[in-house]
Structure 1
């Protein structure tokens, strides 16, 4: 029996379809297996053994946990090198990263004449507001404060508070400085005015440094600019005295002092090293001039920049004078010029020379007598003297005469300038010399006057000095310590109390004398960090007492400011009834507790050390208050 043709054809096509599907399925499986195997082999070859692969159709899936994003990227790149990148499916995870390490906290503080600037990152717990408050107090009203500081909420590093507190305390004594602060380490770069100041500052910083803070110091003491560059020495009876001495190097200083010692120097044995020397041969010229003075046996020598004035003592042999001057002129370096004078002994009957004399008393009164050439010059000198010494302190007995030498008013005013550098003394001006004598509170008074006269008198440069330093007149030596100032204020208040109108923050009239006395004490103390504290008794509400004490402390601060006391470093703080010094149950005790105190502001480190004690005292005071009679705490304030 033959099958129909239609059925035969259909069966043939059906069998072909079945065989095609089977072949396609087998081919897909082979592709999947080969792709998965090839990709896995490539990953293993790269050392990415943490990865797992499987294939679905033409797509290859990569799974597993990558140690990092970089390893994940390498796995994707490796697979894309084996099969088409579009067929690679990323099912990988990445190991969670550890918490970010805290940032390195650091800050730089720069202070100069224009103000204080700070930049850096500090922990949020450092209390940025407190830091800025202290810096504003240090800057005062004359300096600007530029804040570029950021904060971060991370754990405060160990030793950061100690380093920060020490740096802020040190900044008060460093007007030209840069301070770099990290946790437990501080680097200070600063400038001082003299080597001695540098030594004292370094010693103080090392003494105040906390043990937990490492300190690196770069303190510089630039040499001063000396203008004019001056050396002046007087030789009398075998004793040499320096009124001024300058040197450009340490080696030059040694040479000059050795020559001076050979000439008879016994007192002052120092020579200021500075900038502004007119010639590298300064030491040569100075030694030659000192040797010439020694050979003469008496007189003065003054070197002002490159001009040398040698004035022999009266009675020196003319032949010796000529020989000495000739030898000095031949030996001097080219840039230096020597002007030598042999005074002529005056004989009886010689015409009286023009003379001007001014004296300054310890009380500041100045008297002038002598001669001037015209009414115009007389008025000019009188006005100049009033500007220098005060219009109410001048007694004038000047005579006008027409026979005065040229440049006389200039010599007189130069003498007045020299006299103004003294606390008390006298100046005598003649046609060929200016003589200055007196006492001063400045150690370098001789050098100051020598430089002034040398610059103003010109080539002759003939003057004599007899000035001395008196420590009792030194304003710096007599400034009391902050502790002494507070003790004097406390002594003044032990006799008279600062009083206020009842229940008010207004000072009453009886308080004015004690406020004036305290102002006089503070006027001699200079600037010091001071807290004016207001305290009350326990009568009335606690909040009312706190506000009242603040108002009273503020009133005292304002009263001192009105008396032109420098109060930029002062703060006014009310403490209410929190710190009694006597029993509030008695009238005498309450009267004692109503008070104003002046307390030195301690450095931050000392405050931290004493905080535990203060907290304990506060708790004890709180306990005492709770135990007080309710009737006492509810009555009205009796101030």
Structure 2
């Protein structure tokens, strides 16, 4: 009887366990375990929450009698409620300001709450109502919240078309500037206002400049081929124009401004035809001012060659262009009448020479004082009633062009206008050419001798991100970062590299670098990725500790995913364990690789200060330009 009883008990226990286990697994409750002891059923395990525990008890109670169940289930402890993520989006445009996000209900002392933020935004646009979509939470503000919010409000104040995203430790700014120079000024101001502990990401775009008139001037003579001014309406057009100029003898590395205001979509076609004509004549100048084209050949060019080239150019130009071509037989004698202006490096300008009458003299004096400053103009002109027609226009155009220079001189004569000088802007030569071409009109003769001085350029002293990346490359060529095996601790032997990098990046502002960490294939994939991430962050912290601006640097761990050598050998694994610096949008900057060249990087300005060649153009239009075609949608 005892054996029968034991056997019956074992059968009951086995069947109960199987039935309960099947029911639990079918309901997705693998976390619960059933063990039977005679008629008693013991449930053990850890339920994700109290609700799951009751569901398991009810399910088992439907399989066996509830009185047989012994509950030994545990419940996962509840997770503490996490603090909310405070963030504010501030949008500003011509229609006003919008505020969206979540703020602390009670900020730290001296910080902004919702009311004070709305008041600050209202003060920026008093004539428009601020759209307030802010909410507040009764949680203490993060440590750097007030600093980040203050920086965001400062950015909103100087950026009239912008989006400012503020988080506790980060401020992201997306905005539109009026010009490239304003963009750089705004970036410098924002970086200077960045507080410690807050990263700043700036994306300011500048629209293409409007060029009026749309000007291109190409010269080839004994001094070589060069551009006085070059304008294009697209990257494709710029490439075609520069390629044609290089074929004509222009050295590589020249630049051409991409702008708005092109008179025809076929601008590149006409410009390349004009450059080709100059190349064939060998000693000539072509000037495009909107749709007016002036081709001037030197007196040394034969009449037969000139006629053939002009005929080919006239046939090649799109219909919208008007061509005026001249072949002078001898130099035009210079008349006795002239007007001169001399601009000193201190900004003082002296006006001498002849003007038609007192009214024109007063106009020139007023224009000069408005352009150079009332206290910096010295006038010593005299009146002459026999000056050529259009003399005042030539003088005012020359003064307007001279105002673009740091120092220089202006000479106005009956046959030409000459502007010489030095500027700290690479666009000054093109600007002078554009003014003279537009104001003097088709067929007018003028000469431009403007050189670029890098020491006068306020932005040239700041290294570009590409130059900063090149400095990093030079440092990384000498030695690489090494770490204690299996950890993210930089070894003492290679720690001085961080100091060398800090010295190399001393004058670099917010360089967008990615610090990439790589490992060999030993160990698990997830472990290698975590280790490489920690090592990249260790390098980032080492640079930050040495006062390097790391606001736009990021640390990324790639683990074993990007090997550069064979992981089957010790030497290969050693090469794969590395730190690389990558300029975002360029190639890696490591010990063995130099930074890739950046497309469309501005070329060094060429010095044409010794250019004494005349720039002469026809005086009368021969063909009126046809109406511009409608712009393509």
So what's the TM-score if we normalise by structure 2? 0.51
The correspondence for 1:373, drawn from 353, 356, 381, is 356
8 Å Cα contact 1:357/1:429 also seen in 2 = yes
- Map of 1:282 onto structure 2: 267
Q: Which residue of 2 aligns with 1:421?
A: 404
Instruction: Indicate the SS of the match to 1:334.
Output: coil
Q: 2:132 aligns with which of 117, 135, 148?
A: 148
1:105 and 1:183 in contact (8 A); partners too: yes
Write the distance in 2 (CA, Å) between the matches of 1:442 and 1:225.
Answer: 17
Distance 1:370 1:212 in 2: 60
* Alignment correspondent of 1:49: none
Conserved in 2, the CA contact under 8 Å of 1:311 and 1:462?
no
Render the CA deviation track for 1:271-300: whole Å, top value 9, x for unaligned.
Answer: 111222111100001101111111111232
Matched, 1:248 2:229: no
1:199-232 per-residue CA deviation (whole Å, 9 max, x = no partner) reads 9969x99xx999998x998654432222221112
1:27-63 deviation per Cα after TM superposition (whole angstroms, max 9, x unaligned): xxxxxxxxxxxxxxxxxxxxxxxxxxxxxxxxxxxxx
Alignment deviations for residues 487-518 of structure 1 (CA, whole Å, 9 cap, x no partner) = xxxxxxxxxxxxxxxxxxxxxxxxxxxxxxxx
Q: Structure 1 residues 128, 393: CA separation in 2 closer, same or farther (over 3 Å shift)? A: same
Tell me, yes or no, if the aligned pair for 1:223 and 1:275 is still in contact at 8 Å.
yes
Q: Which protein has the bigger helix share? A: 1
| Distance apart, 1:447 and its partner CA | 1.7
Aligned with 1:414: secondary structure? helix
List per-residue Cα deviations over 1:361-381 (Å, max 9, x = no partner). 223333333333334333433
Structure number with bigger Rg? 1
Residue correspondence of structure 1 range 194-273 to structure 2 within 5 A: 194=180, 220-237=205-222, 239-266=224-251, 269-273=254-258
- 1:40-87 per-residue CA deviation (whole Å, 9 max, x = no partner) reads xxxxxxxxxxxxxxxxxxxxxxxxxxx9xxxxxxxxxxxxxxxxxxxx
Tell me: CA distance 1:159–1:337, structure 2 relative to 1, closer, same or farther (3 Å). Answer: farther
Label 1:138 to 1:312 Cα distance change in 2 as closer, same or farther (>3 A): farther
Query: Residues 390-443 of structure 1, C-alpha deviation per residue, up to 9 Å, x if partnerless?
Result: 455444443433322211111111111111222211111123321100012222
The answer as to 2:298 corresponding to 1:313 is yes
Aligned to 2:626: none
Post-superposition offset of 1:304: 1.2
Quote the residue 2:457 is aligned against: 474
Q: Compare 107-116 and 320-329 and name the one that shifted more.
A: 107-116
**Which protein has greater RCO, CA pairs closer than 8 Å, 6+ apart?**
2
Q: Does 1:330 align with 2:315?
A: yes
Report the CA distance between 1:335 and its aligned residue.
0.4
* Residues 185 and 442 (structure 1), Cα distance of their counterparts in 2 relative to 1, 3 Å cut: closer
Instruction: Give the Cα–Cα distance (whole angstroms) in 2 for the partners of residues 134 and 319 of structure 1.
Output: 80
Partner of 1:450: 433
Name 1:124's counterpart in structure 2: 105
More moved, 121-130 vs 108-117: 108-117
Cα shift at 1:178: 0.5
- Superposed displacement of residue 317, structure 1: 2.0
**Aligned-pair CA distance for 1:158:** 7.8
Inter-partner Cα distance in structure 1 for 2:337 and 2:204: 53
Residue 138 (structure 1) shift: 10
Contact 1:122 1:149 in 2 (8 A): no
Within a 5 Å distance, the mapping from 1:32-47 to structure 2 comes to none
- Cα gap change, 1:382/1:222 in structure 2, threshold over 3 Å: closer, same or farther? closer
CA distance in 1 between counterparts of 2:144 and 2:98 reads 20
Q: Distance in 1 between matches of 2:285 and 2:424?
A: 25
Deviation at 1:468, TM superposition (A): 1.4
Aligned to 2:531: none
CA RMSD of aligned residues (A): 4.6
Deviation string 1:438-480 (CA, Å, 9 cap, x unpaired) is 0122221112112211221112243211111223333455799
Deviation at 1:173, TM superposition (A): 7.9
Give yes or no for contact 1:302–1:461 (8 Å, CA) kept in 2.
no
Q: What's the secondary structure of 2:394's corresponding residue?
A: helix
Q: Determine helix, strand or coil for the equivalent of 2:111.
A: helix
Offset at residue 344 of structure 1 (A): 3.4
Determine the structure 2 residue equivalent to 1:108: 89
* Count of aligned pairs between the two proteins: 379
- Structure 2 residues not aligned, in runs of 5+: 1-50, 52-79, 464-548, 552-633
Partner SS state of residue 448, structure 2: strand
Instruction: Find out whether 1:404 has 2:380 as its counterpart.
Output: no
